Amino acid sequence: MSHLHEDNNLRDILRYEDDSAGQLSREVVTVATGETLYQGEVIGKKTKAIATTGTADGGNSGGGTVTTVTQGLKSKLGTYTIEAMTIVVSPLEQVFQVRDPDGNLLPDALAVGAYTSDQINFTIVEGSPVIAEGDKWTIAISAGNGQVTAISLSAVDGTSEAYGILTEDCTATAATEAVAIVKDAVIVAANVVWPVTSPAWSADEKAAALAQLAAKGIVARAEA
């Protein structure tokens, strides 16, 4: 990923941090392999991870499987459940109930095949023996590895949310430690570094990310 970047001194970006007891605003972070990040760049943290296949319940009668699992933008930590509620051969009717980790119902899957939602996506594959009413599968979304990357609007692993800003350039040919400002600071909004994307980050998208930083006590101000 390329970046909009001009050479800055950290104090061009960071005007205040809480160093009253050993630089409390700072945190040692691990930059994910393959990332090239710049001083003052907004970073996201990998807070969620997911298996690519579902786990069939031990009591299933059918041999159906759940594959090609991916997270949606609003995925939650915990276990999603899929249950075959209605299986009729003729006329064909298939209804699969989908629940999120809090027990809330998502839209039903109305046939084997691909399912998409804003929380989770998967494919139900018919098996032998065929899927029976009451067959269940689970999909677990667990905590991510905690590594950081450039903030990414389309990411579903947690890095779509602003976690902090980097204090120094970092090219991570392997997972690499760096230092980030993650709370209680004042930054110059105009000097913050954003990834270069197509389409480019809009003013509203930048404002939303800066609001996420503000919730952590990192306040963006216009340069004096």
pLDDT in tens, 114-167: 999 999 999 999 999 999 999 999 999 999 999 999 999 989 999 999 999 999
Q: Evaluate whether the domain defined by 49-143 bears CATH number 2.30.30.
A: no
Domain ranges across the chain: 3-47+145-221, 49-143
User: Does residue 112 contact residue 126 with C-beta atoms inside 8 Å?
Assistant: yes
Do the domains at 3-47+145-221 and 49-143 have one common CATH topology?
no
Q: What is the pLDDT of residues 54-75, one digit of tens each?
A: 999 999 999 999 999 999 989 9
Q: Which fold has domain 3-47+145-221?
A: Virus Head Decoration Protein; Chain: A, (2.40.300)
User: Does residue 137 contact residue 57 with C-beta atoms inside 8 Å?
Assistant: yes
Looking up tokens 């902090």 gives: 164
As a whole number of angstroms, the distance between CA 97 and CA 76 comes to 17
Nearest to 138 by CA among 120, 152, 126: 120
Q: Is the dihedral of CA 71, 76, 79, 83 positive or negative?
A: negative
